[in-house]
Amino acid sequence: MTRPVDGGRPGRASLIHREILQIAVLMLVAVAAFFITRAVAANNREMTVRDAEAWYARGQQLISAGRVEDAIASFRRASVRDRFERKYTLALATALERNGDAEAARAALSTLREASPDDVEVNLALARLAAHRQDVTEALRFYHNALYAPWPAEAVRDRRDVRLELVGFLLQRDQGGQAQAELMAMGADRPDEAAARAREIVDLVRSSDPLARQIGSEERRRRLSASLDHVGQRLEACRGVAVAPGEGNQAAALQQEAARLRERLQSPAVVDQDVIEGGVDLLGRIERYMSNTCPPLGAPDQALALIARSHATESK
């Protein structure tokens, strides 16, 4: 009796083959879906980034036009669309502060700082908010966070300017000892001279500031006149220094402006606060010009630059 031929094996082989093909097709579909999904996500991300940048640009235009509330809305949309771009949150915080909402600005900056505690710009913005609130402790903490964070090698002058800004704030709050310590830190590269140079500058600021508190109008007039005499002599001495085209005209314009103000101060008429404030601003502009044209600046010039900087920061 002959055995029946087993017809099941070819059927099972065909089934296995079909299953393998199905698995291969499914794998190909999955791979294709992955790449398509990634391409769509990348495209959506690119569109979101472009959208955020457009809202940011619009916010900048609105700020320039003086439409602060509309700018806040634009910066907020930009920061929501791209939470990884810090400049949007910084712009939002600046606009909020400008609109009188310092607490909202502080909250936005604090959130940003949680992600990047060593960010110089964020710490500096928080320091300035604290300075405007006259919170010496918090301002000092955030100024120090900014100053001791990593700075680019080419930003030495910017870091020095921040230190001077802090010194000016401290002097405005009658924190002379702390201001002197900051000046000594700034002059740490010359430790033998730093203490005496710092004391001299602090004393000059205290005795020369026309906008110091609790001094009379005549003393303000006297201090501003003396400072204008000093910078006038310095400008004259700088005339022999080789300058770039156009800078000679700038020096002459500054000299004329200083001369007009000195003449006004010599008048017996009462000099109002706006004139004194304008004079301090002029001192700052002259000192900035001289720091670029004929450095180095001596202690009296550094003191006047510091006075102008401190009042400019206070008025922001």
The string of pLDDT tens digits covering residues 259-277 is 999 999 998 888 889 999 9
> Which of residues 140 and 20 earns the better pLDDT score?
140
Residue 185: band (very low, low, confident or very high) from pLDDT cuts 50, 70, 90: confident
- Lowest average pLDDT, out of 129-138, 162-171, 241-250, goes to 241-250
Widest distance between CA atoms in the chain = 143
**Which pTM does this prediction carry?**
0.58
